[in-house]
Structure formats: structure tokens, C-alpha cells
Amino acid sequence: MVAVKGSKQHQMVVVPYRPWHRVGGALLVLTLAAVGAWVAFEQGMDRGLATRVEVIAERDAIRGQLGESLRRIEAMQQEIADLKVGGEIDSRAHEEVRETVETLQDEIAQLNEEVRFYKGVMVPNAQEKGLRIERLDIRNGGNGNQYRYSLLLTQVVDKHEYIQGDVRLQLEGMRGEQEASIPWEEVSDTGESIRFRFRYFQNIDGEVMVPDDFEPRSVSVVAQASGRGPRLEKRFSWEG
């Protein structure tokens, strides 16, 4: 008699549906990232900030923000534990947890960026040292063509001494179909140049009023230290 072979049978295992496992895993990764950021912060800041009075306030602010992020993560973990007792996480609660996790990830990324900035200023290892035009932030002030700007200058050196000099800005863009430039003093309350003096870094803040017939495209920044160093120039795209 010919034996008839049956089709191969696969075993199946029934696994309970536990959506909080995924959320809990995400929070665990986020917690480890926060702890890593904290360790990097301590290693970078403790080397240089102990005797640098001018940046202690900034350091403490970052520590406070990191601590607040960690406390919020712990609160979310407790919320998940409470929901586990109830047996399930509804879709709305899951979405709220996901949004909170994304927000905390953004905050930690920003804090890590600030830690890298302070380490670069306080413990420099770059080949090009001296005065730097670090960044220029421009935001609409909510009043038509009025904008707020914040220019950051830094000094990357092995031994920090006071540096001073002048910085000039110029607005560049289009007036009708023609390229045009406007001196900064014509759109702000500053003079022809802005004086700076600092040891580690300095923020220069102010406001500009863009003319109605002018479309800004970029801002040219020129910085010159008094009596030493080269003339620095950097152009920033207009993102106001």
C-alpha cells in the first residue's frame, strides 16, 4: 500500500498583545540617551567651567533642563505602569505618549548641541583658533516687517583673555528686479558698527525693520578684533 504524506503542519503560538512593551522600550532608549547626554555634559563642563564664572549660569540652566527632561521621562514611565495595571493602552493614550517621547528627544538633541558648543569654547581642539562668527538667528517679531536677530561671537583659544572689536552687518536682497544691499544702521537702531568685548562668547541682540519694497535674501557679517587677528566675514541666509 502506498503511504500518503500529509502537508507539513506549522506550529502556531498565541502571544498576548502588549502595546506598552513598544512604548516602554522607546522610553528605555530615551532614558539611556538622556543619561548619556548627562555624562557627556559632566565630562565636558567639569574640565573648564569650575573656575569660569561667566558661564556658570548657562551651565546650571542646561542642568536644570536635563533634570526636567529626566523627571518627565520618569513620569511617563509611571503612567505606563498605571496603564499596565488597567490591562491596555488605548489609541489616544498611546499617541500622547508618542508625542511626548518625540518632544523629549528634540529637547535632548538640543541640549547635546549646547554641550558640544561649550566644550568647543572651553576645551578647544580645533586647528583654526581665535575670533569666530558662530551663528546668526533671525525671527519675525510678529509685527509685520519687524524682526529680532541674535548674533553669536565666540573665541576659541587655549588661554582665554578679553577680546574686543567691531562687527558690521549688511542686509542683502532684491529691490524690485534689482539686487540691492542696505547698511544695518538704516534698518536698526545701531550705529555703523557694533562694539563687542568678551572672554568666551557674546550674544548681540537687536531688532531690524525691513522696508516694504525690499526682499531680504542674506545678511553679511564682518567682524574685526582690535589690533590683532584677520578680518572675518561670513554670510548667512535669510530665514526670518
DSSP 188: B
Sign of torsion, CA 159 161 166 169?
positive
pTM greater than 0.75: no
Q: 5-33, pLDDT tens digit by residue? A: 555 555 554 545 455 555 566 666 667 66
Q: 188-216, pLDDT tens digit by residue? A: 988 888 999 988 888 899 999 999 999 99
What integer is the mean pLDDT of 93-108? Answer: 76
What residues does each domain of the chain span?
19-122, 130-237
As a dihedral over the C-alpha atoms of residue 35, residue 38, residue 44, residue 46, rounded to 10 degrees, the angle is -120
The answer on pLDDT for 50 being more than 50 is no
Residue where the block lists cell 523627571: 71
- What's the confidence (pLDDT) of residue 235? 94
Please give the grid coordinates belonging to residue 118: 561649550
- What's the confidence (pLDDT) of residue 103? 81
- What's the confidence (pLDDT) of residue 12? 56
The mean-pLDDT minimum among 4-13, 156-165, 180-189 falls in 4-13
What integer is the mean pLDDT of 107-125? Answer: 66
Please give the grid coordinates belonging to residue 217: 535674501
DSSP the chain: -PPPPPPPPPP-------HHHHHHHHHHHHHHHHHHHHHHHHHHHHTTSTT-GGGHHHHHHHHHHHHHHHHHHHHHHHHHHHHHHHT---HHHHHHHHHHHHHHHHHHHHHHHHHHHHHHHHS---SS-EEEEEEEEEEEEEETTEEEEEEEEEEE-SS---EEEEEEEEEEEEETTEEEEEEGGGTBSS-SSEEEEESSEEEEEEEEE--TT-EEEEEEEEEEETTSSPPEEEEEE---
Q: 59-84, pLDDT tens digit by residue? A: 667 777 777 777 887 777 777 776 66
* Topology at the third CATH level for domain 130-237: Immunoglobulin-like (2.60.40)
- What's the confidence (pLDDT) of residue 40? 62
The answer on pLDDT for 234 being more than 90 is yes
- What's the confidence (pLDDT) of residue 51? 47
Sign of torsion, CA 82 83 84 87?
positive
Q: 117-159, pLDDT tens digit by residue? A: 666 665 555 556 678 898 899 998 777 889 999 999 988 777 7
